[in-house]
Structure 1
Amino acid sequence: MKRINVRLAVLMAAIMMTMMSFAKTQDFGGRVIDEKGEPMPFVNVVLLSLPDSAFVQGSMTNMDGVFKIVTDVNEGLFKVTSVGYQTLYIKAGQDLTIQMKEDTQLLSEVVVKGQLPKTHAKGDAMRTTVAGTILEKAGTVSDALGKIPSIETERGGSVTVLGRGDAEVYINGRKVQDLNELSRLRSDQIQHVDVVQNPGARYKASTKAVVRITLKKAQGEGFSFQDYFSGIYQYGHTLTNNLDVNYRTGGLDITASLWAGRYGHAKSLQEHELTYFVGPDYIQSNNSQESKSIWKGYSPQLQLNYMVDENHSFGAFYKYDRHPSSDFNSMFFTDNYVKGKYTEHSESRIWQDESFSKHIFNAYYNGKVGNLGIDLNIDGLFDDTKTPGSTTEQTSPASGDTTAPRTIESNTLSGNNFWATKLILSYPVWKGNLSLGGEYSYNHRTDAYSFMASDYVPVKTTDTEINEKSSAAFLEYGRSFGKVYAQVGLRYEHLTNDYFNFGKKEDEVCRDYGDWFPTAVISAPVGKAQLSLSYRRDIERPNYANLTSSTVYVNRYTYQSGNPYLLPTYTHSLVLNAAYKWANLMLNYGRVKDALTMSTEPFPGSEDPLVSLVRPINSWEDYNKFSIQLSARPTIGCWHPMWTIITQLQDFKSPTADGSTITLNHPWFILGWQNDIELPHGFRLNASLQWYSKGDYNNFRMTSTRLFTNVGLQRDFNLKRMGTLTFDLRCSDIFHTNKTDAIVFGYRELTTHNPARRTFVLDLTWKFNEARSKYRGSGAGEKQKARM
Structure 2
Amino acid sequence: MAKVLSFFSFLVMISLYTRAQDSTIKTRQLEAIEVNATPPPVRQEADRLVMTVAGNRLFRTAVNGFDVMKKVPGLEVGGDGALLLYGRITPAVFIDGKPVLMSPEALQIYLAGLSSDMIASVALINNPSSQYDAEYKAIIDIRLKQDMTLGWRGNISSTLQRNAYTYSDNQLQLTYKTSKLTYTTRLGYTRGTTIYRYSALQHLASTDIMTTNTNVPTSNNNFSYQLGADYDLKKNQHIELQFRGYLINRDAYAYNTLHTTDATAQHLVFNTKTENRYDPTQRNYLVNLNYAGQWGKTQLQLLGSFAQVNTRQQEDIQTSDIISKTLQDYWKTALQQNIRIRTVQADLSRETGYGTFHIGGKFAYTSTRNAIHYDTLNAAHLFVPDSGRSNNFHYDEYISAGYLSYERKLGKFDLAAGLRVEYTHSKANSITQQQVTIRNYLTWLPSISATYTINENQQLGLSFARRITRPNFTQLNPFRFYNSPLNYVVGNPYLLPSKTNTLALTYSIRSFTFTLNAGRETDAMLRYPEYDTVTNVLEYLGKNMPHKDFANITLSIPFTVTKWWRMQQNISSDYRKEQIPYHGITYAVGVTDFSIRGSQVFTLPRQFTFDVSYAYRSRSGFSLYIAKPLWNVDIGLQRTWLKGKLNTRINYYDMFNSTAFAIIFREKEIINNQLSHWYGQQRVVLSLNYSFGKSTYKAKQVNKNEEENRAGL
TM range (shorter): 0.7 to 0.9
Shift of 1:384: 0.7
Q: Deviations over 1:318-338 (max 9, x none)?
A: 111112333333223242657
* 1:376 Cα offset (Å): 0.5
What's the counterpart of residue 6 of structure 2?
none
In the other structure, the counterpart of 2:537 is 611
Name the residue aligned to 2:229: 304
Q: Decide which of 448, 452, 471 is 1:520's aligned counterpart.
A: 448
Note closer, same or farther for the CA distance 1:670–1:199 as it changes in structure 2 (3 Å cut): same
Deviation of the 1:368 alpha carbon: 2.1
Q: Secondary structure at the match of 2:591?
A: coil
CA displacement, residues 551-579 of structure 1 (integer Å, 9 cap, x when unaligned)? 24555433332111222222111111111
Aligned partners of 2:513 and 2:293: how far apart in 1? 36
Which residue number corresponds to residue 438 of structure 1? 361
Question: For residue 233 of structure 1, what is the aligned residue in structure 2?
Answer: 162
Asked whether the 8 Å contact 1:656–1:749 carries over to 2, the reply is no
- 2:411 is aligned with 1:461: no
The 1-side partners of 2:203 and 2:33 are apart by 61
- Please tell me whether the aligned partners of residues 214 and 254 of structure 2 are also in contact (alpha carbons under 8 angstroms): no
For the 8 Å contact 1:200–1:489, the answer to whether it is kept is: yes
Deviation of 1:434 after TM superposition, in Å, equals: 0.7
Contact map agreement 1:726 1:766 (CA 8 A) in 2: yes
Alpha carbons of structure 1 residues 779 and 267: separation in structure 2 relative to 1, 3 Å: closer
The reply on whether 1:474 has 2:474 as its aligned counterpart is: no
- Equivalent in 549, 558, 561 of residue 633 of structure 1: 558
Partner of 2:8: none
- Confirm or deny that 1:273 pairs with 2:196: no
Matching residue of 1:253: 182
Q: How far 1:691 moved relative to its partner?
A: 1.7
Partner of 1:213: 142
Partners of 1:530 and 1:651 in 2: how far apart? 31
Q: 1:563 to 1:377 in 2, by over 3 A?
A: same
Deviations 1:459-501 (A, max 9, x none): 2321221121111111111111122111111111111111234
> Cα deviations across residues 231-251 of structure 1 (Å, max 9, x unaligned)?
111110101100001100103
Per-residue CA deviation, residues 130-177 of structure 1 (Å, 9 max, x unaligned), is 344324635333333432323445799444433562222222234333
What is the deviation of 1:426? 0.9
- Residues 144, 589 of structure 1: CA spacing in aligned structure 2 closer, same or farther, 3 A cutoff? same
1:126 aligns with 2:54: no
Structure 2 residue aligned with 1:560: 489
| 1:602 to partner: Cα distance | 4.1
Aligned-partner residue type, residue 317 of structure 1 = Q
1:655 to 1:391, Cα distance in 2 relative to 1, 3 A: farther
Confirm or deny that 1:693 pairs with 2:621.
Answer: no
Does 2:214 correspond to 1:289? yes
Q: What is the percent sequence identity of the aligned residues? A: 21
Q: Counterpart of 2:575 in structure 1: which amino acid?
A: L
Gaps of 5+ in 1: 1-104
- The answer to whether the aligner puts 1:539 opposite 2:464 as a matched pair is no
Asked if structure 2 preserves the Cα contact closer than 8 Å seen for 1:363 and 1:777, the reply is: no
Say which SS state the counterpart of residue 560 (structure 1) adopts: strand
Check if 1:585 corresponds to 2:514.
yes
2:658 aligned partner: 737
Instruction: Find 1:373's aligned residue among 291, 299, 311.
Output: 299
The equivalences for 1:406-421 within 5 A come to: 406-421=329-344
- Deviation string for 1:98-134 (max 9, x for gaps)? xxxxxxx989414146667343332322223334432
TM-score by length of 1: 0.79
Counterparts of 2:702 and 2:328, CA distance in 1: 55
- Deviations 1:398-454 (Å, cap 9, x if unpaired)? xx8776421011111101011111111111244311111111011120110101112
2-structure distance, mates of 1:402, 1:503: 35
The match for 1:29 is none
Q: Distance in 2 between matches of 1:555 and 1:782?
A: 31
Query: What is the rounded CA distance, in whole Å, between the counterparts of 1:451 and 1:588 in structure 2?
Result: 46
Q: Distance in 2 between matches of 1:757 and 1:184?
A: 18
Q: Which moved more, 1:169-178 or 1:413-422?
A: 169-178
C-alpha distance 660-782 of structure 1, shift in aligned 2 (>3 A): closer
- Aligned counterpart, 2:96: 172
Tell whether the 8 Å contact from 1:256 to 1:301 is kept in structure 2 after alignment: yes
CA drift at 1:505: 6.9
Task: Report the CA distance between 1:194 and its aligned residue.
Answer: 2.3
Which residue of 1 is the match for residue 685 of structure 2?
Answer: 761
- How far apart, CA to CA, are the structure 2 residues paired with 1:113 and 1:699? 51
Shift in Å, 1:643: 1.9
Q: 1:459, 1:552 within 8 Å by CA — same for their partners in 2? A: no
Shift of 1:664: 3.0
CA deviation string 1:15-35 (max 9, x = no partner): xxxxxxxxxxxxxxxxxxxxx
**1:503 CA drift (Å):** 8.6
Inter-partner Cα distance in structure 2 for 1:760 and 1:749:
37
Note the 1:653-732 alignment, pairs <5 A: 653-654=579-580, 662-697=587-622, 699-703=624-628, 705-718=629-642, 724-732=645-653
Q: Does 1:111 align with 2:40?
A: no
Judging changes above 3 Å, is the alpha-carbon distance between structure 1 residues 716 and 556 closer, same or farther for their aligned structure 2 residues? closer
* Cα distance, 1:776–1:519 mapped onto 2, change above 3 Å: farther
Q: Tell me: CA distance 1:197–1:428, structure 2 relative to 1, closer, same or farther (3 Å).
A: same
Which residue number corresponds to residue 386 of structure 1? 312
- Deviations 1:740-759 (CA, angstroms, capped at 9, x unpaired): 33114575453113467621
Work out the CA distance in 2 between the residues paired with 1:787 and 1:144. Answer: 22
1:425 aligns with 2:337: no
Cα deviations across residues 269-307 of structure 1 (Å, max 9, x unaligned)? 222123465xxx556533122221112110111111112
Deviation at 1:698, TM superposition (A): 6.0
Bigger shift: residues 357-366 or 211-220: 211-220
Supply the distance in 2 between the matched residues of 1:368 and 1:491 (Cα, whole angstroms).
24
Report the 3-state secondary structure (helix = DSSP H, G, I; strand = E; otherwise coil) of the residue aligned with 2:560.
coil
- Return the alpha-carbon distance in structure 2 between the equivalents of residues 308 and 439 of structure 1: 25
Per-residue CA distance 1:362-391 (angstroms, 9 max, x = gap): 110001245431111001110111110021
Asked whether the 8 Å contact 2:61–2:637 carries over to 1, the reply is: no
Equivalent residues of 2:58, 2:567 under 8 A apart = no
Q: Would you say how many aligned residue pairs link Structure 1 and Structure 2?
A: 667
Cα distance, 1:634 vs. partner? 0.6
> Is contact 1:304–1:775 with CA below 8 Å preserved after alignment?
no
Distance 1:297 1:216, change over 3 A: closer
CA distance in 2, matches of 1:511, 1:191: 43
CA distance in 2, matches of 1:623, 1:175: 27
Q: Distance in 2 between matches of 1:505 and 1:741?
A: 38
Instruction: Tell me what 1:452 maps to.
Output: 375
Go from structure 1 to structure 2 and tell me whether the alpha carbon gap of 1:176 and 1:131 turns closer, same or farther (over 3 Å shift). same
Shift, 1:696, TM fit? 2.2
Question: Any residues of structure 2 matched to 1:303-342 within 5 Å, and which?
Answer: 303-335=228-260, 337=262
Asked if the contact 2:61/2:636 (under 8 Å) is kept, the reply is no
Instruction: Give matches, 1:35-50, under 5 Å.
Output: none
Distance 1:233-1:655 versus aligned 2 partners, 3 A rule: farther
Given that 2:163 and 2:682 are in contact with CA atoms closer than 8 Å, whether structure 1 keeps it comes out as yes
Structure 2 residue 284 is the aligned partner of structure 1 residue 363:
no
Structure whose alpha-carbon radius of gyration is higher = 1
Aligned to 1:497: 426
Helix, strand or coil for the counterpart of 1:182?
A: helix
Are the equivalent residues in 1 in contact too, given 2:113–2:188 (CA < 8 A)? no
CA contact (8 A) 1:116 1:134 kept: no
CA-to-partner distance for each residue in 1:30-64, whole Å, 9 max, x for gaps?
A: xxxxxxxxxxxxxxxxxxxxxxxxxxxxxxxxxxx
Q: 1:503 to 1:757 in 2, by over 3 A?
A: closer
Return the letter of the residue paired with 2:195. K
Equivalent residues of 1:420, 1:781 under 8 A apart: no
